[in-house]
Amino acid sequence: MHINLTGHHVDITEPLKGYVDSKFDRLARHFDHVIKVHVVLSVEKLRQKAEATLHINGANVFADSVHEDMYAAIDTLIDKLDRQVIKYKEKRQNHRGPRSPIDTEAPAALAEAEDEEVHD
């Protein structure tokens, strides 16, 4: 996963960059198909804003967060993205649907037929 970190009216320090990297590792544990992440950290008067766009196979996920503290804004941003990624992952898994009863019965019938041939 490639993280592109940009700052508007804020200097991106090494501790801040390390904090963002460690937090985005949490998303990689839940969903490993994240291709690229674009994070924008900005300061507007007393508001600290964090925005992120995740480029995932087949979709883009966007979230933003505003807080008085930049680290708190990053934490809430990660929480929002985590929920969205889990929701996207569940949709992809549910879209495939469960296996039909015919598919599950067919291997059992073949196994029984093979057992009968062996005993004959």
Q: What confidence tens digit (pLDDT) does each residue in 47-72 have?
A: 999 999 998 887 899 999 999 999 99
Indicate the angle between helix axes 14-30 and 70-96, nearest 10 degrees. 20
**How far is the C-alpha of 19 from the C-alpha of 77, rounded, in Å?**
13
DSSP assignment letter at 87: H
pTM of the model: 0.73
- Evaluate if residue 90 carries a pLDDT over 90: no
Residue 34, pLDDT score: 77
Percentage with pLDDT > 70 across the chain: 78
104-113 long-range CB contacts below 8 Å, 24 or more apart? none
- Evaluate if residue 5 carries a pLDDT over 60: yes
Residue 117, pLDDT score: 60
- Structural domains in the chain? 2-119 (3.30.160.100)
Residue 114, pLDDT score: 62
